[in-house]
């Protein structure tokens, strides 16, 4: 359903160019959960940003459900991010002046949806924050803020969640709650693409894709799924 076809990203001009992604191709099926790993600077965030339309590619194409999305204009990209694709950042990116409920309500208001308050409240209950509706981000712990961010990412019923080191700033227990939540969403059919440095985090997803110097060098199935725990041969390895 998500097809990344020969995507390259080159930053800068002249002598100072950086090839952040080098001819990356990846097919992600509906309901997949994939961890993206690789050394710092290998292009993980760049790949996620291009899929989510936060950054433009230099070459290649990205298709979602048969439609090309890499060449959409800003308005269409914004609607895409309020609809089918949602983003969860390491640094939550909540609006500090709004309380938890209002933060989750925002994407519904922007997309012109109805019954916003009920939906936002339901979503916050799902992430275990029924007692924190009126708290502003500054009054919440890191894990709670991330749960608000996930509730916000899910409230419009996206088909894909892109998460860039969503547990990067958390202790293990809190990180585990966030990963459980993502796994639960995945069981309900949401596709998850998750960037992480942590092999234990990667083990919670079904597959891991390894990037090095902007190229996919390996794609493996998780040990948690022993029935198919074998390396998948990767073209261009
Ligand atoms: N806006 C930019 N301008 C120029 N170069 C950039 C820009 N953004 C990223 N890069 C470069 O592109 C390469 C890939 O960066 P990216 O952020 O995707 O790495 P990453 O794998 O997410 O690393 P990390 O694990 O440290 O987050 C790096 O060499 C980086 O310096
Ligand atoms: Mg990164």
Distance, CA of 34 to CA of 55 (rounded, Å):
20
Query: In order of start, what are the domains of the chain with their CATH numbers?
Result: 31-53+77-232 (3.40.50.300)
Confidence of residue 236 (pLDDT cuts 50, 70, 90): very low
Gap from CA of 101 to ligand 1 centroid (Å)? 33
**Pocket lining: 110 vs ligand 1, CB cutoff 6 Å:** no
- Ligand closest to 39 (CA) is 1
Distance 196 CA to ligand 2 centre (A): 9
- Residue having the nearest C-alpha atom to atom 29 of ligand 1: 41
pLDDT tens profile 118-153? 999 999 998 889 999 999 999 999 889 989 999 999
Closest C-alpha among 178, 223, 217 to residue 205: 223
Residue 212 alpha carbon to ligand 2 centre in Å: 13
Q: What is the DSSP letter of 203?
A: T
- CB-based contacts of 5: which residues, under 8 Å, 6+ apart? 25, 60, 61, 62, 63
List residues, by chain if needed, whose CB lies under 5 Å from ion ligand 2: 45
Any atom of ligand 1 within 6 Å of the Cβ of 20:
yes
Residue tagged 């359903």 (tokens): 1
Q: Above 80 in pLDDT, residue 228?
A: no
Mean pLDDT taken over the chain: 89
Strands 207-212 and 191-195: unpaired
Nearest CA to ligand 1 atom 2: 11
Query: 27-36, 60-69, 73-82, 96-105 — which is least confidently predicted?
Result: 73-82
Lowest mean pLDDT among 15-19, 174-178, 224-228: 224-228
DSSP letter at 17? -
Q: Indicate whether residue 50 lines ligand 1 (CB < 6 A).
A: no
User: Tens of pLDDT along 7-62?
Assistant: 999 999 888 899 999 999 999 999 999 999 999 999 999 999 999 998 999 999 99
Mutating to test ligand 1, I would choose from 9, 10, 11, 87 the residue with most ligand atoms within 8 A of its C-beta, which is 11
Residue 73 CB-density burial (10 A; 0-12 exposed, 13-18 middle, 19+ buried): exposed
């Amino acid at each position: 359903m998500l097809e990344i076809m020969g995507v390259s990203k080159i930053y800068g001009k002249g002598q100072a160019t950086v090839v952040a992604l080098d001819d990356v191709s990846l097919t992600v099926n509906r309901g997949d959960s994939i961890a993206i790993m690789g050394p710092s600077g290998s292009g993980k965030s760049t790949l996620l940003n291009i899929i989510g339309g936060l950054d433009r590619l230099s070459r290649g194409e990205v298709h979602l459900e048969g439609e090309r999305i890499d060449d959409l204009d800003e308005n269409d990209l914004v609607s895409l991010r309020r609809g089918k694709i949602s983003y969860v950042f390491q640094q939550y990116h909540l609006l500090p002046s709004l309380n938890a409920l209002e933060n989750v309500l925002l994407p519904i208001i922007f997309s012109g949806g109805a019954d916003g308050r009920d939906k936002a409240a339901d979503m916050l209950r799902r992430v275990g924050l029924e007692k924190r509706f009126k708290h502003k981000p500054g009054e919440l712990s890191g894990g709670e803020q991330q749960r608000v961010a996930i509730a916000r990412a899910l409230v419009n019923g996206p088909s894909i969640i892109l998460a860039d080191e969503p547990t990067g700033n958390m202790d293990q227990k809190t990180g585990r709650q966030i990963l459980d939540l993502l796994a639960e969403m995945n069981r309900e059919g949401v596709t998850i693409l998750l960037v992480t440095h942590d092999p234990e985090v990667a083990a919670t997803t079904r597959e891991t894709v390894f990037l090095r110097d902007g190229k996919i060098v390996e794609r493996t199935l998780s040990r948690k799924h022993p029935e198919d725990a074998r390396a998948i041969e990767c073209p261009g390895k």
